[in-house]
Amino acid sequence: MSERAAPFYCPYCGDEDLRPSEQGHGAWECAACNRAFQLKFLGLLARGLQPNDAAGDEI
């Protein structure tokens, strides 16, 4: 498995000033908005991505 993925932006304010938190695995702190959040990978979907057959302009 590769290295852990790190978020590029805060999900609340969009700032890039993120630091790992001491709260545990996947926890991050945003210095801009003073919020802490945690990221967690839930797994892969069994069905995968399905193409949208109804897309497009129908007349």
Query: Please, how many CA atoms are within 13 Å of residue 31, restricted to the half-sphere of its CB?
Result: 5
| Residue 48: pLDDT band with limits 50, 70, 90 | low
Report d(CA 37, CA 30) in Å as an integer: 8
Output the pTM of the full model.
Answer: 0.65
pLDDT at 56 over 70: no
Structure-model confidence comparison of residues 5 and 35, the more confident one: 35
